[in-house]
Amino acid sequence: MSEQSSSATSARAPLQRALQQVVIPGLVRRRIASSQDIGLSLALSDADLTRLAQASVLNAHAIETELEELVSQGWPLDRVYLEAIAGTARLLGQWWISDQLDFASLTLAAGRLQDVVRQWESRFLRSAPPLIGAQQFQVMLLNEFNDQHSLGVLMLQSFFKRDGWRVHNTWGMQEDDLIARISSSPVDLVGLSVCTDRRLPSTRRLIRTLRERSLNPSLLIMLGGPLVLAQPELVDDLGADWLSGHADQASQDAWHRVSLLHPIRRSA
């Protein structure tokens, strides 16, 4: 490998790590067999994903129109999120890595996908009934600090909100902010995405500090992200409680675990 090629590869490494954080890998691996639920055989082909990715690069109206078309065809919103939006983000990342898309266009396209998730929040929250008693539980979900690519966590937050959890706003939050919030509010669950091995020591220290400073003595720590999905043994090594790789299951898994520690108070 030439010196120039090696330098280019080195320069790409931080951006490739960032791209891994655009979508929590479980979001794009998950394939929901919802055809039995809606009586339709629906699937996204490579051509479909290409069309969606091209629309996201074009402009906001184009990608929203394409996604609305899926809804009109009978796609449930959770499947639109997990397959169409997440799959589109993954393809955009592949295009950038293979030099089919420049980084500025990638950033704009990913931002448009984030905007759709934000704009569709109210309709997504109405797409399924909340879990019983979930409104009693508080959760904080964060990607790696200083990460600008927040689509995965944004979508994960949407599922927790839809299921009724009280989701703290963590946009722009740093470690000191997280520790201060944990120390002053009885948060039940913290979800952390671990994407690169360079943050393992600091993540281990952070989890230990969260448990020490938490106002809730039974605070639970859930991990996600590409590194932990590839090395699940890191859950124990980092001092967390469990690994969750699927956005559509994370909330329910967490609800079961928190409910065992804090029995749901049923209203009269």
- 10 Å CB burial of residue 60 (0-12, 13-18, 19+) is middle
pLDDT string in tens for the chain (268-residue length): 544 444 444 444 444 444 444 443 444 344 333 333 443 456 899 999 999 999 999 999 999 999 999 999 999 999 999 999 999 999 999 999 999 999 999 999 999 999 999 999 999 999 999 999 999 999 999 887 655 557 888 999 999 999 999 999 888 888 899 999 999 999 999 999 887 888 899 999 999 999 999 999 999 999 988 888 889 999 999 999 999 877 778 999 999 999 988 776 655 3
* SS3 assignment, position 220: strand
Q: How far apart are CA 234 and CA 240, in angstroms?
A: 8
Q: How far apart are CA 158 and CA 126, in angstroms?
A: 11
Termini Cα distance of the chain: 71
Q: How far apart are CA 236 and CA 28, in angstroms?
A: 25
Backbone angles phi, psi at 102, to 5 degrees: -80, 160
Domain ranges of the chain: 9-125, 134-261
Q: Which CATH architecture has domain 134-261?
A: 3-Layer(aba) Sandwich (3.40)
- Tokens (6 digits) for 196: 């690169």
Q: How far apart are CA 206 and CA 237, in angstroms?
A: 13
- Tokens (6 digits) for 99: 């030099």
